[in-house]
Amino acid sequence: MSRADRARVGAYGAAVCAAAYGSMKLAQALGANALADKDPLPPHLREQLLARDPLFVASHWLLAGAALVGVIVALATVRPWGARVPRRLLLTIVWTLGAFMIVRSIGVLGFGFVGDTLLLTGVRPTPVEHAALAHTLARWDLLLWSPFFLLWGLCWATAGWRLHRRGSPAGSGGGKAVKRGPRRLADTAK
């Protein structure tokens, strides 16, 4: 697979991950459980989430909308219409999302591969009254959420790398014009 093909897969992968995440958040906003009980949240916030607190419902609507924007941004890195979006803005958004998701998946400060491993091995203590719940959520995060965010972040990074290297989305001519010198007779004979 060529470098351009891998980058295209990254952009479409970011769009698919955004659509999957947005679909889950939309389902939660509409009242479905859709893994809400597996969200790695502190116990008091988890209770509010499962009780469908209006703030959490509103946040799900916002996250579903943000995911839709994410699909559009990811596609803008590979589709010709993406050349209309200022390249620096697109690069900033794509790299920021990629970095955020990769850092979240590593989880040095909380949930993520490092935080979950520290919790499950007993290096990071848990409140005694919530130990079983914390261990369950850490396992879910270690097996589902952290790999998902790592994949999503790597897809964003790959799309950003392609955009950075190509100069414009989909090589659509939206970048800098390339000056060409006069063609030599030997070049035209090929």
Query: Each residue's pLDDT tens digit in the chain (190 positions)?
Result: 776 677 789 999 999 999 999 999 999 999 898 888 888 888 888 888 889 899 999 999 999 999 999 999 999 999 999 889 999 999 999 999 999 999 999 987 678 999 999 999 999 888 788 888 889 999 999 999 999 999 999 999 999 987 776 654 554 444 443 444 444 444 444 4
CB 108 within 8 A of CB 66: no
Cα 34 from chain centre: 19
Alpha-carbon distances of 185 from 87, 145, 169, 180, 190, rounded to whole Å? 37, 59, 33, 15, 9
CB 95 within 8 A of CB 157: yes
How far apart are the C-alpha atoms of 41 and 32, rounded to whole Å? 18
Q: Considering Cα of 178, then 182, then 188, then 190, what sign does the dihedral take?
A: negative
Alpha-carbon distances of 96 from 3, 90, 156, rounded to whole Å? 22, 10, 9
**Token code pair at residue 44:** 């008091």
